[in-house]
Each structure stands twice: as C-alpha cells, then as structure tokens.
Amino acid sequence: CPDLQQLCIDERASCLGGMTNDLARALAVHCKQLSVLEVYFQRYSLPSELFTDEGLIALSEGCKGLRKLTLYNCDRISDRSLYAVAANCPGLTAITLGGYNEHITDGGMTVLFDSCKQLRHVQLSSKLFKVTDCSGSSLAANCPCLTNAKLTQAMTDATIQQLALSCKHLRELDLHRSCRVSCEALQRLLEGCLLLSRLVLPQQLEVGAVVRAMSSRCCCSLSTLEEEQLQVLALQ
C-alpha cells in the first residue's frame, strides 16, 4: 500500500488487536505517503504495551510527511517519540494526545512545539499531569496559526494569557479540566482572540461571571454578544 495516506487503528473496536511496533516499522518502509495516523487503545489495555517509542520513532523516520497524529491511551509512548516526531515531521499540523500518560512531559512537548510551527489543532488530555504552563508558553510562542486547543489540567492562567497575546486565529478552546483558571484570564483571552467561537469552561467557574467579562470584548450589550454566537459551555 505505497499510496496509503490515512490510517486509523482502533483496538477498542477490533478483535485483531491494535498498533504494534512491527506494524509501525512496516508502515515506515512501505507507506511513506502516510500523512494521517490515528491510534486508539482501551484504557489500561495490554495490547498497548506492544506499541512503544521504538515503533513511533521508526514510523516518524519513514513517514516524514505526517500531518496529523492522534494517540489515545498509548501509555508506552514517551518524550523520546515526541523528539523524533519534532525532528522528522516538522510539517505536523494537528496532534491529539488522549488518556493518561506519565512519560510525556514539558521536555517533549516544548521540543515538538518549537519544531512544528504549523500546528493548528492541539488536543491534550487533562491527564498529562507533567505537561504544564511551560508547554503552554511554548505552544503560544511557536504556533501563531493555532485555531483549536484543549489544555491539560496542569495549565493555568499563564498559558491562557500567552494564547491571548500570540494566537489571534484561535477559534475553539477547551478548558473543561483546567482547575486553575480565573475570569480575569478569560477576559484577556476574549479581548485578544476575537475569532474565538467556542469556549468550554471548567466546572467550577460561574458562567455568569464569564458572560460579564465578555462585555469588554466589544464594549456592547449582552444582546449584541449573543449575535456574535460565542458558544460558552459549562460541562458537568
């Protein structure tokens, strides 16, 4: 399959298992046109142990045109893989890291953001506890074309303020699990990111306070703000 460009391997919906290092190496050799890769495992899945840094590093070396990478519950993947993707796939435009992973840290994320400056979609699991404002600042500084982002639980006002300053194309931001976010930071975000159309709030924030902060966005009444169709969601 030398012309294969998109591949989704979902262990959750298959009786054949999921991604393995052997399959990743085969893709690197035979599918060099691969640009979209999605890998899903069930939480705490034993098959996920068969897909490690060795496999993803080999794949990044063979598929240098990778543009979109999605990894869910790939808990054997670490910063080593992010270093390799950063070095081999600088044209990456979207990355999603879902589920718990204690092996991915600011070290890997900052290197990735520094190299992959075309990133537009960055979805980070709230359970990446070692991915903090250090990564958030790097994302904002290096990826000005960012349009869609989901932040980790360890990111705070500092990341939001950096996004407000640098990411003027931001349209969607998910803060659902971000515990340390203030209305003041959100006000700066709304003032700085005028294209923002969807904002998912942490549960502990009062929606009314955010709506009041929105009034500074264009110094107008709530009715006009409703016409802007800024969707504010407070998920339970």
Instruction: Report pLDDT digits (tens) over 72-112.
Output: 999 999 999 999 999 999 999 999 999 999 999 999 999 99
Cα angle 221, 217, 191; round to 5: 175
Instruction: Report pLDDT digits (tens) over 26-35.
Output: 999 999 999 9
What pTM was computed for the model?
0.88
Instruction: Report pLDDT digits (tens) over 100-144.
Output: 999 999 999 999 999 999 999 999 999 999 999 999 999 999 999
> What tokens were used for 207?
């929606």
Q: H/E/C letters for each residue in 95-136? A: EEEECCCCCCCHHHHHHHHHHCCCCCEEEECCCCCCCCHHHH
In order of 5, 73, 74, the CA distances from 50 in angstroms are 23, 12, 10
Rounded Cα–Cα distance for residues 140 and 165 (Å): 8
Helix (H) or strand (E) holding 70: strand 68-72
* CB contact set of 167 (below 8 Å; sequence gap of 6+): 140, 143, 144, 146, 149, 193
